[in-house]
Amino acid sequence: MVAMNGSYHGKSFGSLSLTFSPKYRKSFGPLVEKVSFSPFGDIETLRSTVNADTGFIILEPIQGESGIHVAPDGFLQDVRKLCDEKGILLIFDEIQSGLGRTGKMWAGEHWNTTPDIMCLAKGIAGGVPMGATLVRPDILACISKGEQSSTFGGNPLSCAAGTATIQALTQDRLVENATKMGNKFREGLDRLKEKHRIIREIRGKGLMIGVEMKFEVKDILFDGITNGILFLYSGKNILRLLPPLVISESDIDKTLEVLDAVLDREEKRRNV
């Protein structure tokens, strides 16, 4: 099994074994054996990491938890080619990046790359707990009915919420909205970067945006909450912006206005 440096796939035993950060892993060893990690975006190292026993390569097309790192152009296509050459399954974890968040239904579409297996959750039922694993039919044929069931699996409430969410995504054109609002957000953030020296870098696609700061963002988070905006973080110095896909232009204007004032205060506090 090969996963990427910086990966986050969850905290249950199997997914934790594929999650990179020692911070999450350290209390739960021993984890599943025979997992290797390879730098995200580096096809040559990945090529030398796989061997005849490699069953799958798993990656997030845009790494979320580790700070919104977008796969470099060409990387996903190269990984797909490597998997096809060597008979390795390719798994995309689109739990954070999928279902329209990046302006495409699946983030892998930005690079025209289709995995063999795809993991989905988070946005899939609009906040009601649900997860799904999509697999190619020939892979599905390897397990029989009932082998992958669970108490709450397939429960009617989550399935109804999932159906309604997918309908809203398509009928209300929320994927297109993610592109449009993402571009507007990005333009505004780029303007803030010109003005505020504590912003180091802005990256992402659609409504999956990371704003890396030169300092810890803890005070920015609290200041945001006090002023009605709930920012998320990644590590100590990255703000993660994952707004709902229904966000409007005026919500973005308001967010940028609050962030501008929050950054002014932060710069004063830090004397920059």
Q: How far apart are CA 215 and CA 93, in angstroms?
A: 30
The distance of closest approach from Cβ of residue 265 to ligand PLP in the complex, given in angstroms and rounded to an integer, is 29
Cβ contacts of residue 121 below 8 Å, gap of 6+?
A: 95, 130, 131, 132
Beta-strand relationship, 89-93 and 117-120: parallel
Residue 9 or 110 with smaller CB distance to ligand PLP: 9
The CB-nearest residue to ligand PLP is 10
The distance of closest approach from Cβ of residue 9 to ligand PLP in the complex, given in angstroms and rounded to an integer, is 5
Angle of helix 218-226 relative to helix 249-270, nearest 10 degrees, comes to 130
The closest of 265, 253, 116 to 191, measured between CA atoms, is 253
The distance of closest approach from Cβ of residue 24 to ligand PLP in the complex, given in angstroms and rounded to an integer, is 9
CA 181 to chain centre: 18
Residue 16 or 199 with smaller CB distance to ligand PLP: 16
Residue 128 or 192 with smaller CB distance to ligand PLP: 128
The distance of closest approach from Cβ of residue 19 to ligand PLP in the complex, given in angstroms and rounded to an integer, is 8
The distance of closest approach from Cβ of residue 206 to ligand PLP in the complex, given in angstroms and rounded to an integer, is 15
HSE-up (13 A, CA, CB side) for residue 256: 20
Q: Which residues bind ligand PLP (CB under 6 A)?
A: 8-12, 60, 64-65, 93, 95-96
